[in-house]
Structure 1
Amino acid sequence: MFPKREIGNTGLQVSILGFGAASLGNLYKAVSDEDAEKTLAAAISSGIDLYDTAPRYGLGLSERRLGDALRKLPKSDYVISTKVGRVLTPDHKANVNQLRYGFDTPMPFDAHYDYTYDGIMRSFEDSLQRMGLAQVDILLVHDIGVDTHGDKDSYYYQQLVDSGYKALDELRTQGVIKAVGLGVNETEICERVMTLGQFDCFLLAGRYSLLEQGALDTFLPKCEQHGASIILGGPYNSGILATGVKGKAIPHYNYEPAPAHIIEKVVKIEDICQQFKVPLAAAALQFPLGHSAVSTVIPGLGSERRVNKTVELFHHDIPSDFWSSLKDAGLLKADAPIPTQVKLKR
C-alpha cells in the first residue's frame, strides 16, 4: 500500500504512486489484451489507486482496457482521470496496420481538437461510454498551449475561455467530477489558466525532475498559492533517467535523442548513484515527492514486470546523504526539497 495525498483542496485522496496508461493504448508497440489485463491486475494488487488515461491513448483503446479492469472493483478502490480537448470520430479509411499518432492501435477513429463547451461535454460523455463507467474523478484538458498548437494556440485557448471552462466548472459544481486540471508538458499554459478560474491540479510531464528544477522558482509556489496540486508525469524525462547513459542504447530526453550537456549531467548523477548503491530510476521516481505541491508521480506502466519493478524502485531506501551529495555537486538545486522515507512509506 501507498500513502495518499490530496488533490488541491478537493478532499480527493490519491496514492502517491499512480499509473500512467498511455502504454495500454499501444504506445509505439502493441500490448496484447492478456498482457494489459495482467499489467492492471498487478497495479491494483500493489495498492496503486490512481489511474490516468485519455482518448488520445490508442484512440480510445487505453480507456476501454482501463474501464474493463476497474469496473470490477468498488468505486472506493480507485481514482480515475481522463482528458478532454480531443473528440474521436469514426474513420473508415483508418490504416490500423500502421502507427497513428504514435500508437499501434486497432481502433478505427481519428482525433480532432475541440476545447469548446460542446466539445468537452461530448468528449467526457464518450469517455464514460468507452470505459463503461458512470463516473470520472479528475478531468484534464489535454495538450492545450503553445507546445502543441503553435500559431493556433490563441484560437484553441479562446475556445476554452469562451465556453470550455464553463463545461469543466459545471461538471465539478454538479458533483459529476471532483477535480479539474490540465494534462500538458509546459508550465506556461498552467500559469495562464490560473487567471481563468480554479484548477485543482496539473498533470505535468517532465518539468520537475532530477534533471529539471526550474519550476521551483515561480511555478510551484504559484500552484500552492492557487490551490493546485501536481500530478507528476514523465519522471524519467522520456527515458534517460530510467536507462541512464552508460549502456548501448541511445538515451532519450524530451522525446528526442539527448543532447550532450544532458548526457554529461546524467553521467555525473549516475556516478553518485553508484557510490551510494542507489538505482538511478529509484532516485528519479522518488525525488519529485519531496515537494509538497506534488501529490503523486505517475510513470507509464506497460507490463506486469514494469509494474513490479516500479513498485520495488519506489520503495528503495535512499539515504539523505545521497541527496546532499547531489546538491554539493551542483546536480540538484540547493533549495530543492528532498523526499523522506516517512513520506513514501506507511
Structure 2
Amino acid sequence: MNKSATAATFPKRRVGQTALEVTTLGLGGATLASIFTEVPDDQARATVNRALETGLNYFDTAPQYGYGRSEHLVGDVLRFHQEGKVLSTKVGRLLRPVRSEVDRKYEHNWVNPFPFDQVYDYSYDAVMRSFEDSLQRLGLPKIDILYVHDIGVMTHGVEGNKPLWKQLETGGYKALGELKRAGLISAIGLGVNEWEVLMDAFELGDWDVFLLAGRYTLLEQTSLDPFLSTCIKRKASVVIGGPFNSGILVGGSTWNYAKAPENIMARVREIEGVCKDFNVPLPAAALHFPLTHPAVCNVLPGPKSPQELDGILEWWNTAIPDALWQALADAKLVAPGTPLPNGKVA
C-alpha cells in the first residue's frame, strides 16, 4: 500500500441544497467496465475497495458503462459499505438483451460488455423503469443521485435530440421529481459532456447537481459563464468529470476522446511549463484546478486499478501554491473571470 496515498485527506462539500455531502475527490465507474481496454472484474472491485480504504465517499456509475457491468461491479462492493457513501447512477438508456454482437444497434467501445444494447428513452415510464433496473443491477436498496445521461446535441444531433428532449420535458423530469419527493433519491441532475444543454435544463425547473465532463478543466473553461455562474445563482452544484480532458493532462495525446490537434498540444505545453516553475506535476494541478470554483463540489477521475488510484492520490496530496494559479492567470492560460484561491479571479 502506498504510504503517501494513505495520508490523503478529503474535505466534503454539500450537494446543492440537499443533505448530501461528498468528498471533493470521487471515483468514476466507466473505466471499471472496460472501456477500450479490459479490466478484470476482480481488479475493478479492488479499485472500489481501495477508494473506500482511502476515505472516498462518492461513487458514480451508469447503465451504459459496460451495459450493466459497472453497476454490478460497483454494487458488489458498496452493498457491504453503504453507511456514509453517496452513489449516483443515470437514466436515459434502457438496456435490452441481445443474443450476439451482430444484434447490436449501436457501436461501442466496451471490451466484453454484458449482453445488452442501449435504448434511448427519457420518458416518465423509462425513468421509473431505469431506476428500478439499476437498483437490481446494483443489488442496493437506494441510489442517492440520479442523473439524466447524455441528452443533448453532442450525443443525438440537433434533430435527433428534439423528440428525446420532449420526453424529458413532458415526463422524465416529472418522474425524477416524484422519486425525490418520495425519498427514493436525494438529488437529481444531468450527466453530460456539453454545458449548453444544462442551460436548457434550467428552463425545465430546479436541479441539485450536474455532472459535467471535460468542460471545466485546467485546459478548458468554456462553461465558466453563463453556466457555472448560473449554478451559483440557482444553488446547484457541479461534479467535474474528465478532469484530465481524456488523457492529455496526464501526458497522453488524447483530447475529447480523439487525437489532440497541435494547437491544443501547444497550450498544454505552456501550462506544463508554468507548473514546472513551481515544481508541481501537471496532473496534480489539473486535479485540483476545478475545485477553485465555488459551484464545484467534486472532481471525478476514473482509475482502472488500485495502483492508478494511488497515483491519483499522490497528485491529490501535492501542495499547490496559490502563486501557481496566479501565474497561469497572468500568462492568460486560464479564462478571464476564472475563480482563484483567496477570493481572487483571473
Normalised by the shorter chain, which TM-score bucket? over 0.9
Candidates 273, 276, 279, aligned match of 1:277: 279
2:229 to 194, 199, 221: 221
2:20 alignment partner AA: L
The range that moved more, 137-146 or 300-309, is 300-309
1:198 corresponds to 2:178: no
Q: SS of 1:77's equivalent?
A: coil
CA contact (8 A) 1:288 1:339 kept: no
Aligned to 1:71: 79
> Residue in 2 aligned with 1:118?
125
Whether the aligned pair in 1 keeps the contact of 2:33 and 2:113 (CA below 8 Å) is no
CA contact under 8 A between 2:281 and 2:315: conserved in structure 1? yes
Q: Alignment identity in percent?
A: 48
Residue 32 of structure 1 aligns with which residue? 40
Please say if residues 289 and 339 of structure 1, whose CA atoms lie closer than 8 Å, have aligned partners that are also in contact: no
Secondary structure class of the residue paired with 1:218: helix
Stretch of structure 1 that moved more, 319-328 or 330-339:
330-339
Partner of 1:231: 239
Cα distance in 2, alignment partners of residues 218 and 230 from structure 1: 14
Greater mean alpha carbon deviation, residues 111-120 or residues 325-334:
325-334
RMSD over aligned CA atoms reads: 1.5
1:291 aligns with 293
2:62 to 46, 54, 63: 54
Amino acid at match of 1:76: E
Matched with 2:3 is none
Q: Confirm whether residue 166 of structure 1 aligns to residue 181 of structure 2.
A: no
**SS at 1:214's partner residue?**
coil
1:135 is aligned to 2:137:
no
Instruction: For 1:200 and 1:266, locate their aligned partners in 2 and report how far apart those are by CA, in whole Å.
Output: 33
Secondary structure of the residue aligned to 2:239 is strand
Check if 1:7 corresponds to 2:9. Answer: no
Displacement after TM superposition at 1:198 (Å): 1.2
Equivalent residue number for residue 340 of structure 2: 338
Deviation at 1:165, TM superposition (A): 0.7
1:42 aligns with 2:50: yes
Q: How far apart, in 2, do the equivalents of 1:166 and 1:329 lie?
A: 46
- Tell me the CA shift for residue 273 of structure 1: 1.6
Q: Secondary structure at the match of 2:238?
A: strand
Structure 2 residues not aligned, in runs of 5+: 1-8
Contact 1:64 1:131 in 2 (8 A): yes
Relative to the length of structure 2, the TM-score reads 0.93
Identify the residue that residue 154 of structure 1 maps to in structure 2. Answer: 162
Q: CA deviation at 1:106?
A: 4.1
Q: Distance in 2 between matches of 1:252 and 1:183?
A: 21
Rounded Cα–Cα distance in structure 1 between residues aligned with 2:174 and 2:215 = 28
Match of 2:25 among 17, 26, 36: 17
Answering whether residue 215 of structure 2 is matched by residue 207 of structure 1, we say: yes
Distance 1:259 1:93 in 2: 37
Deviation at 1:95, TM superposition (A): 6.1
SS at match of 2:128: helix
Which blocks of at least 5 consecutive residues in structure 1 are unaligned? 245-250, 341-346
